[in-house]
Amino acid sequence: MSGTSGSVAAATPDDEYEILCDNVGSFLRRYSTEDGVTVVTDTQLDGTTAYVPTGTVVRCDAETAPAPNPQIDGTIQRQTGAGTVTIAAGARSVTLVVYAGSPTVAIGGGSAVTVAAGTALTWGVDRGGDAGESLQDAYVFTGVSGSDFLVTSTREL
């Protein structure tokens, strides 16, 4: 048929998946919508073995909600020339900005790595509270003659 154009749409179900948790652990919930009808199917994480939730069903990350409005302590230190700045383990964030020279950074007692001027690095976690996250390692920033760098950190009190 000359000059005819168009498209064909086949009706297919729309499937959405979410990993949820109950009193036993995590499982997979599938929401299938076809012809305006939504069907919920729970399976083990393999996606095929049927699962029956036990107790309260919640989003897995909701089980250990962070404490509301935690108190955060911040630090800032500028190091010019030779010297060391140490951020103890347990911080929520650590940031290094190098203005001049080539200081080094050692993480968790590991080997020191040289960082060039103009570099900015940040390490951090996004979830605090009673069961929250923190950086497990200490950070040691060491300046040499000609170094100029800034180290900031945050820590939950």
pTM, entire model: 0.58
CB of 129 closer than 8 Å to CB of 74: no
pLDDT at 10: 55
Beta carbons within 10 angstroms of residue 98's beta carbon: 23
Q: Cα separation of 72 and 64, whole Å?
A: 19
pLDDT score at 95: 97
pLDDT values of the chain reduced to their tens digit, one per residue, 157 residues: 455 555 555 566 677 888 898 888 889 998 888 877 888 999 998 889 999 999 888 888 765 555 566 788 999 999 999 999 999 999 999 999 999 999 999 999 999 999 999 999 999 987 665 556 889 999 999 999 999 999 999 998 8
pLDDT at position 152 is: 97
Question: What was the pLDDT predicted at 64?
Answer: 56
First CA to last CA distance, the chain: 74
Q: Are 53 and 68 in contact (CB under 8 A)?
A: no
10 Å CB burial of residue 102 (0-12, 13-18, 19+) is middle
Query: Which pLDDT value is given to residue 154?
Result: 93
Question: What's the pLDDT score for residue 71?
Answer: 83
